[in-house]
């Protein structure tokens, strides 16, 4: 159960000749009469599951129940959750599911050279991102907190996890929604649904094709304008996950501080990217990598894609106004602005 996401990117990113008609997800104008949508709040965000076909309503409700279960398991703020209790005690015997997700996170940490690291918990707490009581930590405080960051300090003995140092903690916020989208898709499949759109606070999992057999049209938000699109990507059976500094931030003395931290500096990552979108079959991997590549910045993110292009594709929006699209999805991508294809 160690590898949750490994798999090749299938060639199911389809180029549609029916773009103008295939606006199911974007405009919610589904033609199939049996569309059912459940909308609910979990993992600190609005979630929406739209299903089609015979068992659509019961399936969507089962997917909702699964996401709610995972919120209660993985939340850093719920005193009943496994992660909360682990962080409070500094050690725990993990459930098999949590252990598998932690190992998936550790794999991404290793792949990304530490750009992604779930041990940012003490930093997130000090910045006030859990409580909403925001603060900019001073240099000395940051230095002390950084000593508690680093997945290499986690000690595993089978499924027992010990933190190497008191004060450490883990935060699965960068991967939990992606994992939940994978599980929700599995629950839909178990309930006989083969066309669905799962949107967990912008973490998209497109299940199958649209009910008419066309690719889903997924809009990627313009990071500078919540009303505008950076582009549209056509996908089938694929996760599309975006990370951006605009999602959660506060301002102090005219400076904006966002929620994606560079585990090396303890500061919000500021390497020239406004958003990173990952397209690949696994929501877990897409979620982890969107955070990782955002932290890396353009040059390292592109080098990383070149080294792992069999696993995923990406859309990067830079702070100097460029949109970069990796070659595997270039033909499935469209935008009103220009874009550069990365080969």
Please compute, for residue 147, the number of CA atoms within 13 A of its CA located in the half-sphere on the CB side.
Answer: 8
Tell the smallest beta-carbon distance from residue 114 to ligand AMP (Å).
Answer: 8
What residue has token string 């690291």? Answer: 117
Residues forming beta bridges with residue 45, ordered by sequence position: 42
Q: Which is nearer to Mg ion, 257 or 294 (CB)?
A: 294
Whole-number Cα distances in Å, 123 to 27, 66, 100, 268: 39, 29, 24, 10
Give the Cα separation of 261 and 285 in Å (integer). 18
Q: Quick one: tokens of 81? A: 């959750």
- Measured distance CA(236)–CA(196) in Å, rounded: 10
Would you say 92 or 260 has its CB closer to ligand AMP? 260
Q: Please choose which of Mg ion, ligand AMP, none residue 277 contacts, taking the beta carbon within 5 to 8 angstroms, the exact cut-off set by kind.
A: none
Torsion of CA 136, 105, 176, 255, to 10 degrees: 20
At residue 98, what are phi and psi to the nearest 5 degrees?
-65, -40
Contact partner, 117, from Mg ion, ligand AMP, none, Cβ < 5-8 Å per class:
ligand AMP
51 near 196, Cβ under 8 Å? Answer: yes
Token readout for 271 is 């390497």
Using the minimum distance from each CB to Mg ion, give the nearer residue, 151 or 291: 291
118 binds, among Mg ion, ligand AMP, none (CB under 5 to 8 A by kind): ligand AMP
User: Which parts of the chain fold into alpha helices (H)?
Assistant: 24-27, 56-74, 82-89, 96-111, 121-127, 139-146, 176-190, 283-296, 298-308, 327-330
Nearer Cβ to Mg ion, position 63 or 260?
260
**Shortest Å distance, C-beta 291 to Mg ion:** 4
- Provide, rounded to whole angstroms, the least separation between the CB of residue 248 and ligand AMP: 6
Partner that binds at residue 120, options Mg ion, ligand AMP, none, CB closer than 5 to 8 Å by kind? ligand AMP
Shortest gap between Cβ of 4 and ligand AMP (angstroms)? Answer: 16
Instruction: Catalog residues that contact Mg ion under the rule CB under 5 A.
Output: 174, 287, 290-291
Q: Which does 317 bind (CB under 5 to 8 A by kind): Mg ion, ligand AMP, none?
A: none
Q: Which does 295 bind (CB under 5 to 8 A by kind): ligand AMP, Mg ion, none?
A: ligand AMP
If the CB atoms of residues 18 and 130 are measured against ligand AMP, the closer one turns out to be: 130
Minimum separation from the CB atom of position 174 to Mg ion (A): 4
| Contacting residues toward ligand AMP, per CB under 6 A | 116-118, 120, 124, 129, 171, 173-174, 243, 247, 259-261, 263, 287, 290-291, 295
Minimum CB distance to Mg ion smaller for 87 or for 290: 290
């Amino acid at each position: 159960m160690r590898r949750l996401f490994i798999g090749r990117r299938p060639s199911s990113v389809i180029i549609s000749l029916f773009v103008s008609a295939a606006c199911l997800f974007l405009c919610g104008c589904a033609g199939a009469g049996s569309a059912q949508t459940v909308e609910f709040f979990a993992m600190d965000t609005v979630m929406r599951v739209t299903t089609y076909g015979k068992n659509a309503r019961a399936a969507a409700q089962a997917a909702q129940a699964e996401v709610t279960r995972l919120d209660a398991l993985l939340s850093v703020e719920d005193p009943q959750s496994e992660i909360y209790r682990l962080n409070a005690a500094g050690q725990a015997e993990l459930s098999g599911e949590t252990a598998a997700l932690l190992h998936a996170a550790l794999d991404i940490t290793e792949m990304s050279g530490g750009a992604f690291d779930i041990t940012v918990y003490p930093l997130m707490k000090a910045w006030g991102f859990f409580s909403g009581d925001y603060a900019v930590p001073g240099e000395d405080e940051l230095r002390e907190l950084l000593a508690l960051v680093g997945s290499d300090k986690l000690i595993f003995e089978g499924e027992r996890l010990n933190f190497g140092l008191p004060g450490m903690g883990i935060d699965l916020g960068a991967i939990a929604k992606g994992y939940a989208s994978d599980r929700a898709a599995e629950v839909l499949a178990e309930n006989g649904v083969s066309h669905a759109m799962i949107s967990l606070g912008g973490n998209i999992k497109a299940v199958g094709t649209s009910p008419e057999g066309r690719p889903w049209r997924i809009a990627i938000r313009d990071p500078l304008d919540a009303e505008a699109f950076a582009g549209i990507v056509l996908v089938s059976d694929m996760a599309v996950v975006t990370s951006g500094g605009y999602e959660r931030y506060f301002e102090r003395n005219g400076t904006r501080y966002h929620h994606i931290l560079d585990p090396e500096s303890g500061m919000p990552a500021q390497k020239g990217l406004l958003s990173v979108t990952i397209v690949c079959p696994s929501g877990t991997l897409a979620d982890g990598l969107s955070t990782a590549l955002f932290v890396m910045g353009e040059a390292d993110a592109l080098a990383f894609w070149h080294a792992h292009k069999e696993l995923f594709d990406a859309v990067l929006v830079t702070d100097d106004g460029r949109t970069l699209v990796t070659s595997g999805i270039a033909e499935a991508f469209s935008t009103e602005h220009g874009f550069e294809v990365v080969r």
